């Protein structure tokens, strides 16, 4: 378990470098990330390079046994480059070049930008290929899908469509371009979504394909950098750091050619006043681990109160800084790198607080960081352990984009139902993988498949096979709605999954913010909102678990269970309150024979890492209050954001929970 920091030597006087490195060594820092924004210092003028300062600081860290991750500096091209090639800057939806002044001012497809980017990467990688201190490379920084609307990107978008479809007749047919006289007669008529029209006003098939192109284009940019690094640094570990941005790429394809996943983790510093409201970042951590189904790195971790794009927020509560880092370890991180060692004194991020504040006097948060480094050192026995899950939640980049393009009703978001299930599973202390919908399902007993909105025939086949062979799948409303081109399927919902779930949707009611009531057979009532699929059971072994108890469809089925082959498929036609999911998940886990914990208080998380019969169980209190509860017939007491770790040897790789 490794604790690191993000460090920006180019921002500080050289006189600070050695004292900083000495303090890092004393504190227990094992890793630093550098240089991801330093292009203007590495190449101050075109063709004039200065690596001496980076050589010097890397040597300082090497002398102290601190490893280095170097970032390729392509996120922030120097002023001389954009002055010479002003159209190397991305264009907005109005077609005009964006003004510069912040980072990320580069078009992935501009030939002159790419030429200079390749050159700086070539020089960096060759220079540090044999440097023992450099243990990994980070490509660019917080990459987003390419939403650039310049002429070069437009040309590449058309080429992408030509390669995918071959001819305009096919595009017109699959997009349904006869609507609103939208048929193309020349390739030049195809543009990216320019103008200020809301996404929902535009052809959804066209919009989904543009989003796919934007993701693919970013992935090609990552591959370009990867090839250079691999050629010059054989055996080097390569990653890129991602975050939950507006224009998210397909994470699974992004990391397919990289060695490990890196994620920037900024949990909230102010928790919701309603204790029932979900806020844990465990969902994000499990999603990142699920991308490659292997351990990952947190490349930026909360170190102080954020403040940059918005006004400053609350400073971290005592225990948050260390607790959130330990939570990341509990969910599969092997390294947590804190942003940043020092709080910047200049630039836009001067109020995005690091470990050492502007006072230059280490304070309360730094003291907590020191204790965290000691705690990480004590977790050495966990090196090589990983998360083994019997439960998976399916995530789809296409579904996420499609919901953004056409919001279904007030308050409904794609991530919400994934998070509701994740929170309910967390309540029972089970390990959870969040995996791409294209992944194989071998090894899982329970698969949660929320809102399978855009239909992939191969995914449909895989889910049928999984259930037929004895697995359990949980479907929700808005499944089987669209074909692969984001057009509605002209069949009763849930269309391709209808036989599997043993029911069909007679009608749906997008209730939005209005509340409805559903009642289980035992009389228990729960509130629901947003969406109501009015279900008609069709299978001989379809059982109604709950019915609507309000609205004109009172008495109609809302939740069903169907036996199919050797397995079971559930269908949840509405969006319920959290207690509904906690009830359902508990019953389903029991039927699936998956071990779980009962009686965990809200926001207490239990996860298990294992290797060769060795298990470590993490128990984390993700609240600002002390919690006492009974676990394994013994009393457990946890202070705010406190983690306990228990280890045990076992004979077989099964959860001992």
Active site members = 142, 300
CA atoms within 13 A on the CB side of 229: 27
Torsions phi, psi for 103 (to 5 deg): -80, 175
Residue 339: exposure state from Cβ atoms within 10 A (0-12, 13-18, ≥19): buried
How far apart CA 655 and CA 390 sit, in angstroms, is 10
Q: Which stretches of 93-203 are DSSP H helices?
A: 111-128, 151-165, 168-175
The secondary element (H helix, E strand) that includes residue 575 is strand 574-576
How far apart CA 607 and CA 616 sit, in angstroms, is 8
How far apart CA 341 and CA 7 sit, in angstroms, is 6
Read out DSSP for 446-510? Answer: EEEE----B--HHHHHHHHHHHHTT-EEEEESS-S-B-TTS-B-SSSTTGGGHHHHTEEEEEEEE
Pairing of strands 614-621, 604-611: antiparallel
How far apart CA 212 and CA 399 sit, in angstroms, is 11
The alpha carbon of residue 598 and the mean position of all alpha carbons in its chain are separated, in whole angstroms, by 28
Tell me which residue has tokens 């917080």: 142
Q: Tell me, what DSSP letter sits at residue 91?
A: B
How far apart CA 401 and CA 637 sit, in angstroms, is 43
Q: Which two three-digit tokens encode residue 7?
A: 């460090």
SS3 397: helix
Read out DSSP for 593-642? Answer: T------PPTTEEEEEEEETTEEEEEEEE-SSS-EEEEETTEEEEE-TT-
Question: Roughly what angle, to the nearest 10 degrees, separates helices 204-232 and 111-128?
Answer: 30
Read out DSSP for 119-130? Answer: HHHHHHHHHHTT
Tell me which residue has tokens 């965290």: 372
Question: Roughly what angle, to the nearest 10 degrees, separates helices 204-232 and 151-165?
Answer: 100
- Residue partners of 298: CB distance under 8 A and separation at least 6: 262, 263, 264, 265, 325, 328, 333, 335, 336, 337
The secondary element (H helix, E strand) that includes residue 194 is none
Four-CA torsion 404, 408, 412, 415, nearest 10 degrees: -40
Q: Which two three-digit tokens encode residue 336?
A: 């947590």
């Amino acid at each position: 378990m490794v604790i690191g920091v993000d460090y920006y030597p180019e921002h500080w006087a050289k006189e600070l470098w050695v004292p900083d490195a000495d303090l890092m060594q004393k504190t227990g820092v094992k890793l630093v990330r550098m240089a991801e924004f330093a292009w203007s210092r590495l190449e101050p003028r075109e063709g004039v390079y200065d690596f001496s300062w980076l050589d010097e600081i890397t040597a300082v860290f090497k002398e102290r046994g601190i490893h280095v991750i170097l970032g390729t500096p392509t996120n922030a091209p120097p002023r001389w480059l954009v002055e010479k090639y002003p159209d190397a800057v991305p264009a907005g939806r109005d077609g005009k070049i964006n003004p510069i002044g912040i980072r990320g001012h580069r078009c992935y497809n501009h030939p002159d930008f790419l030429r200079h980017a390749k050159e700086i990467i070539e020089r960096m990688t060759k220079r540090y290929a044999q440097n023992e201190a450099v243990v990994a490379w980070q490509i660019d920084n917080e990459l987003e899908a390419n939403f650039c609307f310049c002429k070069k990107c437009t040309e590449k978008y058309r080429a992408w469509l030509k390669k995918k479809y071959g001819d305009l007749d096919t595009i017109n047919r699959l997009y349904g371009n006869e609507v609103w006289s939208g048929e193309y007669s020349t390739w030049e008529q195809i543009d990216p979504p320019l103008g200020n029209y809301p996404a929902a006003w535009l052809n959804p098939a066209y919009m989904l394909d543009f989003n796919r192109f934007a993701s693919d284009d970013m992935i090609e940019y990552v591959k370009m950098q990867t090839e250079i690094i691999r050629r010059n640094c054989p055996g080097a570990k390569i990653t890129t750091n991602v975050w939950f941005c507006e224009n998210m790429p397909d994470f699974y394809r992004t990391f397919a050619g990289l060695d490990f996943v890196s994620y920037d983790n900024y949990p909230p510093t102010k928790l919701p006043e309603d204790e029932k409201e979900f806020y844990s970042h465990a969902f994000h951590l499990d999603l990142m681990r699920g991308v490659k189904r292997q351990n990952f790195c947190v490349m930026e971790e909360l170190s102080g109160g954020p403040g940059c794009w918005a006004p400053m927020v609350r400073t971290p509560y005592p225990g948050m800084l260390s607790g959130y880092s330990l939570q990341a370890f509990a969910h599969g991180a092997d390294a947590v790198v804190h942003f940043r060692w020092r709080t910047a004194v200049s630039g836009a991020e001067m109020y995005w607080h690091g470990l050492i504040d502007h006072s230059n006097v280490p304070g309360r948060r730094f003291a907590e960081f020191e204790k965290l480094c000691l705690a990480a050192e004590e977790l050495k026995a966990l090196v090589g352990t990983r998360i083994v899950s019997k439960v998976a939640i399916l995530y789809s980049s296409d579904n996420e984009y499609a919901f953004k393009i056409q919001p279904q009703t007030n308050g409904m978001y794609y991530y919400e139902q994934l998070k509701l299930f994740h929170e309910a599973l967390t309540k029972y202390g089970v390990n959870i993988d969040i995996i791409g919908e294209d992944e194989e399902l071998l090894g899982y007993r329970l698969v949660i498949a929320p809102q399978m909105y855009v239909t992939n025939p191969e995914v449909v086949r895989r889910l049928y096979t999984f259930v037929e062979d004895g697995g359990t799948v949980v479907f929700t409303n808005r499944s089987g709605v669209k074909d692969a081109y984001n057009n509605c399927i002209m069949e009763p919902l849930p269309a391709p999954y209808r036989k599997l779930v043993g029911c069909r949707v007679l009608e749906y009611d997008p209730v939005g913010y209005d509340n409805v009531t559903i009642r289980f057979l035992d009389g228990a009532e729960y509130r629901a909102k947003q969406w109501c699929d009015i279900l008609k059971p069709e299978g001989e072994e379809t059982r109604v678990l709950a019915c609507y108890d309000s609205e004109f469809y009172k008495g109609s089925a809302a939740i069903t269970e169907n036996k199919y082959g050797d397995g079971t498929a559930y269908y949840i036609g509405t969006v319920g309150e959290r207690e509904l999911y906690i009830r359902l998940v508990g019953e389903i886990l029991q039927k699936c024979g998956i071990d779980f914990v009962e009686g965990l208080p809200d926001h207490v998380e239990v996860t298990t890492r294992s290797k060769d019969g060795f298990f470590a169980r993490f128990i984390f209190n993700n609240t600002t209050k002390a919690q006492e509860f009974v676990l394994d017939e013994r009393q457990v007491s946890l202070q705010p954001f406190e983690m306990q770790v228990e280890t045990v040897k076992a004979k077989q790789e099964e959860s001992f929970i």
